[in-house]
Structure 1
Amino acid sequence: MKDIKKKSSFLADYVKDVIDKKYRTRSLAAEDLGIDESVLSRICSGKRPGVSESIVEGICEKLGLDKAEGVLRLFLTKHSKIRQFFTNPRKPILFRILLPDSNDKTINPEKISKTHTPVPLVSSEALDGFISLKQRAAEHALIPKNWLQEGHNAQCTRVKGDSMAPTLPDGSIVAIDFDSRTVQNGSIFLLKWKKKVVIRRTVFQDSYLLFCPDNV
């Protein structure tokens, strides 16, 4: 989507200047566009136009504008709360590569799209199994595709504290598969405990399942 300036409305910003350059009067413009002049006036003034997507598509087609962008701008004109996600400057997305072995540097940049997949890297507080618009990740980690089963939902986060050291030192990046829930002895799990997200190792002891830190 092209750069959107905050003027009267997204739709008005898109069509008004083109209409004024192409037609001598709004009356002639409305007649050629096949809409009522009062509707055209509302569109150009930035008010909620109260028109359908098909009308906007017809206007854009007559003006030589992209119909898909016109419909999107109509949507954003009607729904002001969603505009912030299209008007805020987009920050560059950062990527980090997760390797099974930190000493293994054998990554082929030309084939990385075939061997790795991007996973959102979020704070532990945002780990809900999904990413909402407000929690959109600005940073991603590239993890080997063979770490995840196809269709599984995954996120990455940074380890806080030394409870899992030396296996996972403070600041380590871990990938979490939210669809993998098979408990195995000695495996590492992320769980919510007393409203906090923690990472622990599972230990079978007698008839109990324990979640233990590694630094004990």
Structure 2
Amino acid sequence: MTKEQFNLMSFMEGYVRNYRKLNLHQATNRSMFTKREIDYFANLGEMLGLFSFVEDTKPNLDYGRSRPMDLSWWKWDERIDKENYLYVVLHLERENLFKKDIETIDKLFCKTEEYYVPHYVIGIQNVESKERITYLNNLVGERNLKQGSEVLMMYRYYDEVNSLDRIEAYHFNELSKIINSRKAISIIDNTGYWCMAFVEEYETWK
């Protein structure tokens, strides 16, 4: 079946350049970070003409039960089917806790019914350190060989030397090969709100 044609790295660019608009203050709790970021992508999906669902579910055949999806985008077209969504365009997971990084990947790439296999996957994960990213990317590549989605993984970690957060994004194709990557930083601006910039733009931006 024909799928939507998106460049996932463009989604990452929009996420970085619009991050200040999420109004995340230095006093904001982590749950609100999760909510605002999920809402950002939910709104994006709707502006693209898709149906966004927060806390949707899909069958997990490994566990024999359904598991929640933080966010899903579904395609609807009454010219083709007047009763059912055509397919899952996107499955997104957003996780703050380091210790749940593998669980996040498990949610994104669980064995499920064919109807629920997403064309695109986005994972936004806080990680303990830069060194953890290689391990997680290897796991994503291995799991996606079976699923065959296009994948954008965005990892966020704290840089103690420079006192800022770093974001590393990796775009996997359907064959689980990394075809693009970008790096960004996130800091608190002089009004107390979190903002982002790509590393190559940071010197002029700050």
Instruction: Give the TM-score, by structure 2 length.
Output: 0.21
Question: Relative CO higher for 1 or 2, CA cutoff 8 Å, sep ≥ 6?
Answer: 2
TM-score (norm 1): 0.21
1 or 2, which has the higher strand percentage? Answer: 2
